[in-house]
Structure 1
Amino acid sequence: MKIVVLAHNNVFDTGLAAVLDTLGTANELAELESFPVPRFECVVAGVRDTVQTSLGLTVPVQPAVNIRQPDWVIVPALGTKMPEPLIGVLDGREAQDAAEQLRVWHGHGVRIGAACIGTFLLAESGLLSGHEATTAWWLGPLFRQRYPEVRLDEQRMLVPSGDVVTAGAAMGHLELALWLVRQTSPALADMVARYLLVDTRPSQAPYMIPMHLATADPLVQHFERWARGRLHEGFSLDVAADALHVSKRTLQRRMEAVLGKSPLSYFQDLRVERAVHLLRTSRKDMDAIAAEVGYADGVTLRTLIRRRLGRGVRELRTVYDP
Structure 2
Amino acid sequence: MHIHILALDQVFDTGLSTLLDTLSIANDLAVSANAVTRFDLTIAGVRRNIRTSQGFSVPVVPAARCSPPDVVLIPALGAKMPETLRLALERPDVCEAGDLLRQWSKEDVLIGAACTGTFVLADTLLLNDRSATTSWWLSPLFRERYPRVRLEESRMVVSSPGLVTAGAALAHIDLALWLIRQSSPTLAEMTARYLLIEPRASQAVFAIPDHLAHADPLVQQFERWARHRLGERFSLSEAASATGTSERTLSRRLKAVLGKSPLSYFQDLRIERAVYLLGTSNDNVDAIAAQVGYADGTTLRTLLRRRVGRTVSELRARTREISSSFNDSQAQDIE
Shorter-chain TM-score bucket reads over 0.9
1:180 maps to a residue whose letter is: L
Please give the per-residue CA displacement for 1:252-299, whole angstroms capped at 9, x wherever unaligned. Answer: 111111101100000010011111111111111222212211122222
| Map 1:204-243 → 2, pairs under 5 A | 204-243=203-242
Please give the per-residue CA displacement for 1:209-247, whole angstroms capped at 9, x wherever unaligned. Answer: 001100111111110011111111110001101111111
2:55 corresponds to: 56
Which deviates more, 282-291 or 250-259?
A: 282-291
2:173 maps to a residue whose letter is: L
2:333 corresponds to: none
2:312 corresponds to: 313
**Structure 2 length normalisation: TM-score?**
0.93
Pairwise CA distance, 1:189: 1.0
Aligned equivalents of 2:20, 2:90: Cα separation in 1: 27
Which deviates more, 208-217 or 311-320?
A: 311-320
* Identity among equivalent pairs (%): 60
Aligned equivalents of 1:214, 1:49: Cα separation in 2: 41
Q: Can you give the 5+ residue segments of structure 1 that lack an aligned partner in the other structure?
A: none
Q: Does 1:147 align with 2:167?
A: no
**Quick check: 1:68–1:105 contact (8 Å CA) kept in 2?**
no
2:15 maps to a residue whose letter is: G
Which deviates more, 97-106 or 264-273?
A: 97-106
Pairwise CA distance, 1:199: 1.0
3-state SS of the aligned residue for 1:20? Answer: helix
Aligned equivalents of 1:94, 1:222: Cα separation in 2: 39
2:200 corresponds to: 201
1:209 maps to a residue whose letter is: I
2:12 corresponds to: 12
Q: Can you give the 5+ residue segments of structure 2 that lack an aligned partner in the other structure?
A: 328-335
1:27 maps to a residue whose letter is: N
Aligned equivalents of 1:116, 1:200: Cα separation in 2: 18
Aligned equivalents of 2:202, 2:286: Cα separation in 1: 26
Aligned equivalents of 1:198, 1:282: Cα separation in 2: 28
Aligned equivalents of 2:197, 2:228: Cα separation in 1: 38
1:111 corresponds to: 110
Which deviates more, 245-254 or 289-298?
A: 289-298
**Quick check: 1:69–1:108 contact (8 Å CA) kept in 2?**
no
Distance 1:145 1:34, change over 3 A: closer
**Structure 1 length normalisation: TM-score?**
0.97
Pairwise CA distance, 1:114: 0.4
Which deviates more, 301-310 or 202-211?
A: 301-310
| Map 1:1-322 → 2, pairs under 5 A | 1-31=1-31, 33=32, 35-317=34-316, 318-319=319-320
Aligned equivalents of 1:173, 1:240: Cα separation in 2: 39
Aligned equivalents of 1:197, 1:239: Cα separation in 2: 47
Aligned equivalents of 2:6, 2:200: Cα separation in 1: 24
Aligned equivalents of 2:159, 2:286: Cα separation in 1: 39
Runs of 4+ in 1 over 4 A off after TM superposition: 318-322
**Quick check: 2:33–2:186 contact (8 Å CA) kept in 1?**
no
Pairwise CA distance, 1:66: 2.1
Aligned pairs, number: 321
**Quick check: 1:99–1:125 contact (8 Å CA) kept in 2?**
yes
**Quick check: 2:35–2:187 contact (8 Å CA) kept in 1?**
no
